[in-house]
Structure 1
Amino acid sequence: MFHIAVCDNDVVIHQQLQQYFSELSISSTFTFNISYFSSGEELIDYYEHGGAYSFHILLLDIEMNGINGIETAQRIRALPDRELQIIIMSSYPEYMIESFDVQTFHYMIKPLAYPQFENILKKVFHYIESSTQSFVVIKIDQEQIVLRTSDIISIVKIKHALSQNRIKVITTKEQYICSGTLADYLNRLGHPFMQIYRSVIINLEHVFRFSADTVIMTNHEQFPIGRSQSKNIKDAYARHVITQSKERGKSFCTVQHWSE
């Protein structure tokens, strides 16, 4: 399921997009949850009061009362939320160049026509599904759920499951039981995910601290570390922290210490 925000001060546009999304849900296999906002201030307020990283896609009008769409997008990017796919809506093509500064995925010209809407939305859906560095799609029964890889804390094989290929994906918000193997997810996700035990994959970004034979994650859950892998895992974590610090432009970083 894709979580989508629409920000436009025109109620008619809200109604039109509701109809378009209804048609798209019938003509495709995609599912989505839509939230509507009437101003940039309302959307920013939602983000600042616990709604950060809630959406995969934002359909954003430029000409609004109060802060305009470009400023709204700039403030969202500054949070930072770089993974949000922004689709600008405007009656004025001349805003297109300015919208590039906020890393927009596409530009929709008003008045909105359904073929244009359908084409652009399908493109962004397929783009997100293929962006394994930022998102991963898991299947639960007949539903597809899109997760940010940065939200995944760990992936654990379920013991004594009726099916041998059942795993639990633990995120910062929820836990999901789905089909799959650890090897498959490790291949799909790559760094910073690492298998630390025969039944556990962790995201190095969510490590809180290590002990001699255990790792404690940011959600306070503890997992064992395979004896033969202990040094390699801790070294990999140290390299990860140093790399992340360099990417943020820091000249000095403090690597977490673990007790032996």
Structure 2
Amino acid sequence: MIKIAVCDDEKNVRNYIRELIIDQDIDCEIKEFANSSEYFLNNYEPDILVLDIDMGKDSASGMELADLIRKKSHKQPLIIFITGYPEYVFNAFDVEAFHYLLKPIDEKQFARVMQLAITKVTKISDSDTQSLEIQHDGNRKIVPLKDISYIESQNHKAVLHINNRKIAYYARIGELEEELSDSFCRIHKGYLVNLAYVDEYSKSEVTLTTGEVLLISKYKYKDFVRAHMRFVKKSEPGDF
């Protein structure tokens, strides 16, 4: 089931958007929020967020909320801005918005954009179900790839770094590099990094969204940059 949030200070607009979403005939859960504070206090993590930009002087703007989501939320929704102000369109790129629709809402355009978003969410969901099967402490264990920030080679073992904990098992990092080539990249003889966790990098190190900093080999740098660019392009938001 796809989780969709609608955040707009006007109840009639929220109701209208809800009806437009229902018209798409998809298996979804829809939650409504009247302002930015209500959205964050609820701790809801949608797949798609339909967001108004101007939500009144007593609330943070939709752009501010989107910026906060990008910086602090673990789950990153596709953001579709809906606003009566076309001049904000360029700001939407700063928060990696999926799309930008103007009020009054064109129902056909809304349907097209929503279908694009649903297709993308479905693809992301499919990739999230990918996993690594390992033998750990005598037991078979399934580890979702999305939970692994990086893999470290240590004393003939592969050490999986998962949410501030480690799982070590016997495996060759070179074989894992081949198996996980779509979403992981070898940046050093001892490190295989999940590209989804890359926050920033220089020629000497890679900083992950977890805050960890890993050395990058000068011999691996160019391959890493190419792999990261391919990954970002594959994951980038839709065209406006």
TM-score normalized with structure 2 length:
0.61
Q: For residues 6-58 of structure 1, give each alpha carbon's deviation from its aligned partner in whole angstroms, at most 9, with x where no partner exists.
A: 00000001111222122211xxxx311111000011112223xxx4xx21110
Match of 1:110 in 2: 103
Structure 1 residue matching 2:40: 3-state secondary structure: helix
Q: Equivalents in 2 of 1:16, 1:121: separation in Å?
A: 14
Question: What percent of counterpart residues are identical?
Answer: 23
Distance 1:195 1:58, change over 3 A: same
Q: Equivalents in 2 of 1:251, 1:5: separation in Å?
A: 32
Q: Structure 1 residue 97: deviation in Å?
A: 1.1
Of 51, 59, 62, which aligns to 2:50? 59
Q: For residues 143-191 of structure 1, give each alpha carbon's deviation from its aligned partner in whole angstroms, at most 9, with x where no partner exists.
A: xxxxx72xx6xxxxxxxxxxxxxxxxxxxxxxxxxxxxxxxxxxxx4xx
Q: 2:60 matched to 1:34?
A: no
Match of 2:66 in 1: 73
Structure 2 residue matching 1:67: 3-state secondary structure: coil
Distance 1:235 1:22, change over 3 A: closer
Equivalent residue letter for 1:13: V
RMSD: 4.1
Structure 1 residues not aligned, in runs of 5+:
138-147, 153-188, 255-260
2:84, 2:104 within 8 Å by CA — same for their partners in 1? yes
Distance 1:81 1:216, change over 3 A: closer
2:157, 2:171 within 8 Å by CA — same for their partners in 1? no
Match of 1:21 in 2: 21
Match of 1:158 in 2: none
Q: 2:148 matched to 1:205?
A: yes
Match of 1:136 in 2: 125
1:196, 1:224 within 8 Å by CA — same for their partners in 2? no
Distance 1:241 1:103, change over 3 A: closer
Distance 1:14 1:217, change over 3 A: same
Structure 1 residue matching 2:172: 3-state secondary structure: helix
Q: Equivalents in 2 of 1:252, 1:69: separation in Å?
A: 32
Deviates more, 1:230-239 or 1:11-20: 230-239
Q: For residues 49-89 of structure 1, give each alpha carbon's deviation from its aligned partner in whole angstroms, at most 9, with x where no partner exists.
A: xx4xx211100001112211111111111104573110000
Equivalent residue letter for 2:206: K
Q: Equivalents in 2 of 1:119, 1:242: separation in Å?
A: 32
TM-score normalized with structure 1 length:
0.57
1:196, 1:233 within 8 Å by CA — same for their partners in 2? no
Structure 2 residues not aligned, in runs of 5+:
178-189, 199-204, 216-240
Q: For residues 90-115 of structure 1, give each alpha carbon's deviation from its aligned partner in whole angstroms, at most 9, with x where no partner exists.
A: 01211111111111111111111321
Q: Equivalents in 2 of 1:71, 1:45: separation in Å?
A: 15
Equivalent residue letter for 2:172: N
Structure 1 residue matching 2:42: 3-state secondary structure: helix
Distance 1:69 1:224, change over 3 A: closer
Equivalent residue letter for 2:52: D
Larger relative contact order, structure 1 or 2 (CA cutoff 8 Å, min sep 6):
2
2:207, 2:214 within 8 Å by CA — same for their partners in 1? no
2:63, 2:92 within 8 Å by CA — same for their partners in 1? yes
1:109-258 matches, within 5 Å, as 109-130=102-123, 135-137=124-126, 149=128, 189=130, 193-197=131-135, 200-202=141-143, 203=145, 205=148, 230-232=170-172, 239-240=191-192, 246-248=206-208
